[in-house]
Structure 1
Amino acid sequence: MSRSVSKLLPLAVLVGAVGLGGCASKSFVREQIAPVSQRVDALESRLQETDGTAKAALAEAQAASGQAQQNGQRLDQLNGRVDGVDQRLSVQERRVKRPRN
């Protein structure tokens, strides 16, 4: 054998061995992927549940915000009415406190 052929022979054997032995069967791949697939399915289910909970919480928070805004407006109206009553009471008190001549 020539020197170049003797150098290439081990490389050719290695490439051939890797090429022939590197294929995995479908069943082997399924066995290896099954646990990962199950975990992904479980995580997707939990994610959907969490998403539903978050959406429900957001809806409740928005409703509470709207109710708080309505309550604030009502409080402003009541404050105005109380101020009016307070002013009328002050006017009446001044009339009563005036001495009669």
Structure 2
Amino acid sequence: MKRLSPVVGIMIGAASLGGCATKSYVREQIAPVSARVDTLESRLQQTDGTARQALAEAQAASTQTQGNGQRLEQLNGRVDTIDQRLQAQESRPKRARN
């Protein structure tokens, strides 16, 4: 018990001497971290804006690509029809001109 009482006394003394930090001390300690957080938040907002703009452009390009694909399908149909007509004309016997 005699050995334990100095250790307990030191622990109680250290806890009571530590005290509480003042508001100004806490603000001084937090200020650099807060400034970095503000900078990172600003950069994050810029990055988010850039990402949103890129997404909008990608969606517009996708819509345009779909429209172009539909046009190509229509043109393919027309080309196939013309090709069939040409093949039908070529397979007919040619008449001699008088």
The TM-score bracket by the shorter chain reads 0.7 to 0.9
Equivalent position SS for 1:24: coil
Report the Cα distance in structure 2 between the residues aligned to 1:99 and 1:10, rounded to whole angstroms. Answer: 119
* Alignment match of 1:29 (pick from 26, 35, 43): 26
Give the structure-2-normalised TM-score.
Answer: 0.83
Structure 1: runs of 5+ lacking an equivalent: none
Amino acid at match of 1:19: S
Distance 1:9 1:78 in 2: 96
Question: Which amino acid is 2:37 matched to?
Answer: V
The one of 76, 79, 83 aligned to 2:80: 83
Task: Check 1:88–1:27 CA distance in 2 against 1; reply closer, same or farther (3 A cut).
Answer: same
Q: Which has the higher helix share?
A: 1
- Counterpart CA distance in 2 for 1:48 and 1:85 is 55
Cα offset for 1:86? 0.6
4+ runs deviating over 3 angstroms? none
Distance 1:99 1:79, change over 3 A: closer
Work out the percentage of aligned pairs sharing the same amino acid.
66
Instruction: Tell me how many residue pairs correspond in the alignment.
Output: 96
1:36 alignment partner AA: V
Structure 2 gaps, min length 5: none
State the 1:10 CA deviation. 5.4
Once residues 99 and 67 of structure 1 are traced to their aligned partners in structure 2, the CA distance between those partners, rounded to angstroms, is 46
TM-score, scaled relative to structure 1? 0.81
